[in-house]
Amino acid sequence: MVKQTEFANKKVLVLGAGVSGISVACILRNLGAVVTLSDAKPAGQLGKDFSALQSAGIVLALGNQQAELLHGVEYLVLSPGISIYIPLVAAAREQGITVMSEVEVAYRLSEAPIVAITGTNGKTTTTTLVGEMLKTTGREVAVGGNIGAALSEQALAVKPDGILVAEISSFQLEGVVNFRPHIAAVLNITPDHLDRHRTMDIYQRMKEQIYNKQQAADYIILNYDDPVVRDMAKRAAGKAVYFSLTQSLAAGAFVEDGNVRISWNGKKTDICAVSDIKIKGGHNIENALAACAIGYFAGVRPEAMAAVLKTFAGVEHRLEFVAEIDGVAYYNDSKGTNPESSIKALKAFDEQIILIAGGRDKNTDLTEFMQVAKEKTAHVILLGEAQQRFAEAAARQDIKNVHQVFSFDEAVTFAHSLAQPPQVVLLSPACASYDMFDNYEQRGKAFKDLVHRLVSLKP
C-alpha cells in the first residue's frame, strides 16, 4: 500500500467542486499537498461558501478551465461527475500527469482491506446489506463511495484491522490506476450512462476496472445469471465466486429448495429461507445473494447474515414506502435512474401502477421498459427532458393512458387525482435527475415531501 506521504508537497489539481471533490481536496491539503480545486462553473452557480477551503490554503479556480491550470501539476484528481473525455484531462495525460479518481486516492490512503461493489443496478442495496452484515463481526466498518461520505474520507477514518465497504460507479472507475479491493463484486451489466461512456463496450470495460488489479489471494463475486458478468471470470486473477437465482452452484450463493445457500469447498451452508428476506422484489433476492457471498468471504457468520436479511427494510429512495392515502400506496424509487432498474421496480408489484417517469435522458433503449409498463401500469405520467422520447416509445407499444406534464409538483398531484385503490403510485423515473434536481436523493425527497403534503391536506 502506498503510504499517505505520497501526496506531501506534491502539486495536485482536483476537478469538480462537489461533495467528493471538496472532501478529497481538504484531505490532500491536510496531508501536505499543494491543492487547487477547480470547477467549470463559476462561484455564483455553485452556490457554496468556499472561505474555509481558502483559509486552509486551497487555491480556487472556478469558471473557465484553461490548460494553464496544469502548470507544475503532478496529480490530477477527478470527481465522479468529471468525464475523462474533457480536453483538460486529455491535456494532462499528454503532459504525463498522473490522472486518478477520488476512489484511487482512497485506495492509496486506506490501511484497511476494501470490499468494492459495482454493477448497473443494486449497488446501494447490496453495499448497505454488506455493511450491516460486517458490523456483526465486531470489526470497525466504514461505508462510502457512491453512497454516503466520500470514500477518501472513510479511508482515513477506518483503522487497519477494520474494513472499508465501497459502492463504486462506472464514473468512479474511469480514473482508477492501482485500485485493488480484496473482495470485488459485479452485480449486473445493462445499458446505462451511454451519454457519457458512448458505447456498451466502453461501459463494460469501466466496470471491469474493479477487478483488473486483483491477485490470486483476492475474490471476485459475479452474477452467474448475467452472461456478460459470468464471462468476466475468464479475465479475473482473483478467485471467482458466483451468485445465482436460477442455478445451484458448486462455488457461490444460490437459491435451492426455497433457501439461500452457500457452497464452497464441497460444503453447503444454509443461510435462511427466501421467504424470510424482508426487502421486496425478486431483484432484491439477487442483492441478498451477492451480499451473502461477499459476507461469507469477509468472515460473517451464517446466522448473522440471516438476522440482517430478516430485518433489513431497504435503502432510502429504492422502492421506499412513503405513505398510504385513501387506500393507495405511494412508493419512492427515485434511485431508478435507468430502464432496467425501473423494470425491476414495476415487477415488484402485483397491483396496477400509476407510474411517474422521465428526467435527464441517458439515450438508453426503452423497448422492454415500455413493454413492462404496458403490462403493469394503469397510467404513465411523463416529465422532464426525456418525456417526448419516452412518449414516442410508449406510443410504439400502444400504451393508451400516457400523460405529459411540465413540473414535478404537477406529476405527483395528477397521479394522486388518477389513483384508485388498490393501485400504487410509483416514482421510478428510468432517468437521471439532473434536468430538475441536483441528484436522485433530492428528487426522492421532493416526492416524499409532496406526498406528505397530500396526506396533510386530508380532512
**Burial class of residue 179 (count of CB atoms within 10 Å of its CB; 0-12, 13-18, 19+):** buried
Set of cell numbers at residue 89: 484531462
The residue ranges of DSSP E strands in 199-299, in sequence order, are 219-223, 239-244, 252-256, 259-264, 267-273
Dihedral sign (CA 434, 437, 441, 446) = negative
Annotated binding site for ATP: 119-125
Residues at the binding site are 119-125
CB atoms within 10 A of CB 322: 20
Distance, CA of 69 to CA of 23 (rounded, Å): 20
Radius of gyration of the chain (CA): 23
Degrees, nearest 5: CA angle 381-383-388: 95
244-263 per-residue burial string, b: 16 or more CB within 10 A, e: under 16: beeeebeebbbbeeeebbbb
Q: Whole-angstrom Cα distance, residue 189 to residue 458?
A: 43
**Looking at the DSSP assignment, which residues form a beta bridge with residue 377?**
353
Q: Which residues contact 456 (CB under 8 A, 6 or more apart)?
A: none
- Cα 367 to Cα 350, 353, 380: the distances in Å are 21, 18, 15
422: cis peptide before it, omega within 30°?
A: yes
Task: Determine the 3-state secondary structure of 160 from DSSP.
Answer: coil
The set of cell numbers assigned to 447 is 416526492
Single out the residue of 403, 396, 359 nearest to residue 377, CA to CA: 403
Please give the Cα distance from 144 to 149 (Å, whole number): 5
